[in-house]
Structure 1
């Protein structure tokens, strides 16, 4: 089985850029970062975009070669057009936004209804009385796994269940 390429996230990129413009600007405006990598080992592909609170921007998820991943995550920021954009490692984990389980997305979820990421109840977080009252969160994944520490959101990267699934997801990624 062929290992997957690593992912990086470019935070808060202006939406008017096409995928091709982003890749082109990344290569052309950051030549100093790419000069130590053989041209045949430079692979950059836009995988998808994530919405942000600001509707004029999005987070861009890139699939890159291991050499480019090391260079981008080491740099921490790059230039795209007139912006200085933060760059970080992106976990390959897939977590459903409907049932909050792992290994599938909302599109393929078989759950009958949404699960609240704050309290684990049968509603969306925006309608959660605990969330609105600023009550501490309870992780439904940790509750299901019968773990003691459940005082975090189901999407938290501090969640032990999330970390276990992240380790599994990263095992199929080629970082070198």
Structure 2
């Protein structure tokens, strides 16, 4: 214990604070009250001479301006002299304030350092007087006990492994369905629904339809949970006394889009490249029509393009679940492509040009009714672009919507609405 006492004494003497000084002997020793008093007395009184000069010359300028109808040359000279004097006095006042502040800060810092030194000296003096209270047990415990050693930082691999990955989008499943139509000509879908309800009563069965939807041409689509239920209702509804006809709903082939393909990859070779470089897709192909190129879409990058393919349900599910497939030197992103219908004659949705009944052709670029997009004289002028569907919608409902896009652009809000509707359809062979 005596050695510890000697060590504390040596540590105290090694500090440049005065080894055995007392408050009476040390001229730099101050108390807290003395420090506050010195801080309050450190402000120097300003010289009033500069304030008086500024006020005097300001009044002279006002007199020269107010006492004359016009400012003479003599008055101008007097005003300039007064302004110069104001400028000089202001600069001297600024220099004086700067000097006072510098002196005040320096004095305050010196007294603060002195106060800190005295506080440290007092604490070390108490430590030297009572050395028996200090033990080395905490240090020994730190060395001997390994349980309190700091844990190592996690590796990059552990951090990546613990990071939650984005959940994949749930892929819809097509339910068995029938298409119901009225045997007689009807003017609205309500008549078909009424005839359907009169032709079949589900109280005689142990199930009911999972969903009933309206489709085009005043028909309805009735979905069931399984194929046995569908076939049972199909046989029950197709009777001579029934008011409606029922047919099995045909499943459409879904579409997928491949995004970001290099432009030096020929479209004509794209199908062959996909089949050869992706064995999991190749194993699902039963006939050449199982995967068919449909059309191209522009990419944000001018050096890339997007391609849309029509595929079978099994291939569609495989491609959508993979999210990326091999295409030549790339791994391109894949996703579902909603199969919306848009007529390139009238620009409306739900049918194609082949079945369009409108007489007028609309330009998808400038919305003119005098020519088609193929013959548009301003197709390369993007300042003339105007969406026909959005413009018509704005005029009809007196709305203010941005129409500076083509009628076939994916940025069109009317087209985006159709895409969202198509995403909810279940008549595809998923």
TM normalised by structure 2 equals: 0.30
Counterpart of 1:166 in structure 2 is 419
Deviations 1:18-44 (A, max 9, x none): xxxx48962x64135789xxx7xxxx8
2:407 paired residue among 132, 146, 154: 154
Structure 1 contact 46–60 (Cα < 8 Å) conserved: no
Residue 128 of structure 1 and its aligned partner are, at CA, apart by: 2.8
Residue 15 of structure 1 and its aligned partner are, at CA, apart by: 2.8
Between structures 1 and 2, the one with greater strand share? 1
TM normalised by structure 1 equals: 0.65
Residue 85 of structure 1 and its aligned partner are, at CA, apart by: 8.2
Q: Report the secondary structure of 1:135's partner residue.
A: helix
Considering only CA atoms, is the larger Rg found in Structure 1 or Structure 2?
2
Q: Report the secondary structure of 2:357's partner residue.
A: coil
Please list every run of 5 or more consecutive structure 2 residues that lacks an aligned counterpart in the other structure: 1-176, 178-248, 298-306
Which piece of structure 1 moves more, 115-124 or 134-143?
134-143
Deviations 1:110-144 (A, max 9, x none): 12132111111021224334434432421111122
Residue 93 of structure 1 and its aligned partner are, at CA, apart by: 0.5
Q: Cα gap change, 1:75/1:51 in structure 2, threshold over 3 Å: closer, same or farther? A: closer
Q: Distance in 2 between matches of 1:47 and 1:33?
A: 13
Counterpart of 1:112 in structure 2 is 359
Q: Distance in 1 between matches of 2:390 and 2:267?
A: 36
Q: Report the secondary structure of 1:167's partner residue.
A: helix
Counting only pairs closer than 5 Å after superposition, residues 100-139 of structure 1 correspond to structure 2 as: 100-122=347-369, 123-139=371-387
Q: Report the secondary structure of 2:382's partner residue.
A: coil
Structure 1 contact 120–139 (Cα < 8 Å) conserved: yes
Counting only pairs closer than 5 Å after superposition, residues 78-117 of structure 1 correspond to structure 2 as: 78-79=326-327, 86=332, 87-117=334-364
| Higher RCO (CA 8 Å, separation ≥ 6 residues) | 1
Between structures 1 and 2, the one with greater helix share? 2
Deviations 1:76-120 (A, max 9, x none): 3334xx686854432200111111111111111112132111111
Q: Distance in 2 between matches of 1:78 and 1:161?
A: 34
Structure 1 contact 13–85 (Cα < 8 Å) conserved: no
Q: Cα gap change, 1:46/1:117 in structure 2, threshold over 3 Å: closer, same or farther? A: same
Q: Report the secondary structure of 1:61's partner residue.
A: strand
Please list every run of 5 or more consecutive structure 1 residues that lacks an aligned counterpart in the other structure: 53-58
Number of residues of Structure 1 aligned to a counterpart in Structure 2: 157
Structure 2 contact 338–423 (Cα < 8 Å) conserved: yes
Q: Distance in 2 between matches of 1:106 and 1:115?
A: 12
Q: Distance in 2 between matches of 1:33 and 1:75?
A: 13
Counterpart of 1:56 in structure 2 is none
Residue 5 of structure 1 and its aligned partner are, at CA, apart by: 5.0
Counterpart of 1:8 in structure 2 is 256
Structure 1 contact 142–161 (Cα < 8 Å) conserved: yes
Counterpart of 1:49 in structure 2 is 294
Q: Report the secondary structure of 2:379's partner residue.
A: helix
Q: Distance in 1 between matches of 2:403 and 2:273?
A: 44
